[in-house]
Amino acid sequence: MNEMKNIRKILNYRVSNKAWVLPVGIVLTWIFMPYLLFAQVVIVPSTEDKARIVLSPYAQSVPNDSYTFMSINHPSLDTALTQVGVALEVRGMTTVPDNVAGRAAIFTVDAGETHRVFIVNVSNSTINSSNASFTDARTHLILTQDSAQFGNIRAVAVNEVPLTPTTVGTTQKYNNLGQLSFWGVVFVESSGTGFSMEFIGDAHDSTIGRNFGDSQLDGVSGSSSGVARGIN
């Protein structure tokens, strides 16, 4: 009889000691999850994998003079998955805040969508977070200090295996920046003019979006340069 009581005491002790683990775990997750998500969202991957990278050699933001505008479009090529993750950063500029979060924008472009990215000085009277025209989920502001800033753009595919296809039906589809169309302009506000930006490694440099030949990755003379050729 005493033995049964001892067993019950041991079981009750073990249960009571473990009962607090779940609520404490939930509280800790609730406290630290924003920081974990923040770390995932703002850090542009460090990679030299050319199949993941799109570059633009020049951008600028000058108060009361000019800013940089970019659009990233998912044209639904037959080689593209319906969602492509993009990590974009400005380099060579002093941003607000001047850290990895301040100079980056990370987002997912769905099929048929266009995202807008503005690189503009922090006190711009029109393009700011107080203007509802620039606060939707597909618009991203990268703010620079109120002094002339000159630099370049680097975009990286969030997907770490850009040349590994997913077969949908009978078609091999890819999650990489070679499936997206990048366009941009350095816009001069006073004159309403500007000059266009060149993007190396996007859909214009990679493929016309058709599955040619025996290998889905190979280029075909006169038809395609190959899927996700990158910046080579």
pLDDT in tens, the chain (232 residues): 566 656 565 556 554 555 554 555 554 555 444 444 444 446 888 898 988 999 999 999 999 999 999 999 999 998 999 999 999 999 999 999 999 999 999 999 999 999 999 999 999 999 999 999 999 999 999 999 999 999 999 999 999 999 999 999 999 999 999 999 999 999 999 999 999 999 998 877 654 444 444 555 555 555 544 554 444 3
Looking at the structure, do residues 20 and 111 belong to the same domain, yes or no? no
Q: Is 51 within 8 Å of 160 (Cβ atoms)?
A: no
**How is residue 202 written in tokens?**
């996007």
Residue 206 Cα to chain centre, angstroms: 19
Q: Alpha-carbon distance 223 to 187, whole Å? A: 34
pLDDT at residue 89, as a whole number: 97
Looking at the structure, do residues 70 and 147 belong to the same domain, yes or no? yes
Looking at the structure, do residues 151 and 202 belong to the same domain, yes or no? yes
Q: How many residues does the chain have?
A: 232
What's the structural domain count of the chain? 2
Q: Is residue 88 part of a domain?
A: yes
Looking at the structure, do residues 37 and 80 belong to the same domain, yes or no? no
Positions of E strands within the chain: 53-61, 66-73, 83-91, 104-110, 114-121, 139-144, 149-157, 166-168, 171-173, 181-188, 193-196
Looking at the structure, do residues 195 and 137 belong to the same domain, yes or no? yes
Q: Is residue 25 part of a domain?
A: yes
Looking at the structure, do residues 71 and 134 belong to the same domain, yes or no? yes
Q: Is residue 229 part of a domain?
A: no
pLDDT at residue 10, as a whole number: 56
Is the pTM above the cut of 0.85? no
Q: Which structural domain range is residue 72 located in? A: 49-206
**How is residue 65 written in tokens?**
């003079």
Looking at the structure, do residues 59 and 24 belong to the same domain, yes or no? no
Looking at the structure, do residues 31 and 69 belong to the same domain, yes or no? no
Looking at the structure, do residues 82 and 37 belong to the same domain, yes or no? no
**How is residue 55 written in tokens?**
């570059």
Looking at the structure, do residues 10 and 121 belong to the same domain, yes or no? no
Q: Is residue 222 part of a domain?
A: no
Looking at the structure, do residues 30 and 122 belong to the same domain, yes or no? no
In the block, residue with structure tokens 């609730």: 30
Q: Is residue 215 part of a domain?
A: no
pLDDT at residue 50, as a whole number: 87
pLDDT at residue 40, as a whole number: 45
